[in-house]
Structure formats: C-alpha cells, structure tokens
Amino acid sequence: MTHAPVEHAEQAPVELVIFDCDGVLVDSERICVRVDAQVFAALGCHFTEEEIIETFVGSSGEIYDAAVEQRLGRPLEPGWHRAYEHLYQEAFDTELTAIDGVAETLEALGLPFCLASNGGHATIRRNLTTTGLHHHFEGRIFSASDVARGKPAPDLFLHAARTMGVAAERCAVVEDSAYGVTAARAAGMRAFGYAGGLTAPHKLAGPGTVVFEDMRELPGLLAGRPVS
C-alpha cells in the first residue's frame, strides 16, 4: 500500500514513541468485537460488526456508554459492565496474543517509548502480562483514567509526553483507531496508523499521518525511510 508522508515541512527528530495498547501491541480488538456483540445482545440492543468497529474500537468509556444508551433508548445502570467482564477475561485468557512482529519491533526501535491507552491500568497490565510484553513498558504506562478526557481528546498523549519530559512535536504516536489518530493530531504529534487490524486504512489516513500494515516497518518509518 502507499505510505502517506507526514506533512511537516521541517520535522524535529522523534524523541519519544507513544504506543496505544489494544490493536497495536496486543491483538485484542478482534476478541472485543466478538464479545461486544454478545454483550449487546444480552442488553437487548444490536450493532452490526461494522458498527462495532466504527463506534467502539479505540473509544473511551464515555463514548462506549453513550452509544449503547442511545441505541437502547434508556440509561445504563452504574457498574452495568461488571456482569460481563468475565466474558472478556475468559476470551483473553485463551486467545490473546501479541501483534505479529511487535516484540522484535520494540527491541529494534532504538528510541524511548511508552504506552498510552484508553483502557484502565488493570486491563492494560493484564493484557501486557498475558502476551509477555509488560517488561517493555513497566513504569511507562498511561491510562485514560489518569486524565480528564480519553481519546479522541489529546489529554492522554499530552500527559504522557509531559511525564516523559518530551515536547509534543517530538513525539510519534502509533495507533490503530480513528479515535487514536484524531487524538494524536489534536496533540500536535505525528501519527502512525497501524492498519494491520480491523480499522480500514482510509479511516486512519489524514494530515500528519503515515499508514502502514506491518509492525516490522515501524522503525524504518520513524527514521523517515519509505517502505514500498
């Protein structure tokens, strides 16, 4: 596929790479879409697989709940999701794997990196531990629960950059969802849209964004080397 160039006339060198978790480090989105469909059926509302991918992949908890409430036509009870957490846990315990090529990519990166996810800290830790990636990010994990607004707001990425001591324009964000690349652009950071998962490449494309499909390409792309 064609890799869109990042649209900066003169780019500052990348000093920090901020990774999303679900769909970028761990191959969880496919599992979540399937379990989401089960949960929505139990709640009495229906979303097509396309709608689930479009509306829920990479979303914040607030966006998730609002979309379900709108489809149901009524408010959800506080803590409603707890009754369904075991479905995700059971599926993750037996099926969750790391994204193909991501472990070797982290080893080859040669740049400081951290993680910033809309997921909660417990979920992030579980997913990284299950896939053997936790040691790469220990002490450098940021959650939407740390800030006022999750993605697509820029708050989480800006918080991660400030904590890591790097200016926004020197950060690169690796995301697999439209919410994530929107947040990266809003934060003034370069976005690298990983299209090897569920989100169509055109949903990730846009200003200041490189779209790619193989995680092994990332080190070269960050260094400005085009990949055919």
Structure tokens at 179: 């919410």
Q: CA-CA distance, 210 to 191, in Å (whole number)? A: 6
CA-closest candidate to residue 199, choices 19, 49, 6: 49
As a residue count, the chain comes to 228
CA-closest candidate to residue 64, choices 72, 53, 73, 55: 55
Torsion of CA 110, 97, 149, 5, to 10 degrees: 50
Q: CA-CA distance, 220 to 72, in Å (whole number)? A: 46
Residue 24, SS3?
A: coil
CB-based burial label for 205 (10 Å; 0-12, 13-18, 19+): middle
Structure tokens at 183: 């947040």
Burial 151-184 (b: 16+ CB within 10 A, else e): bbbbbbbbbbbeebebebeebbbbbbbbbbbbbb
Assess whether 22 carries a catalytic annotation: no
Q: Which residues are catalytic?
A: 20
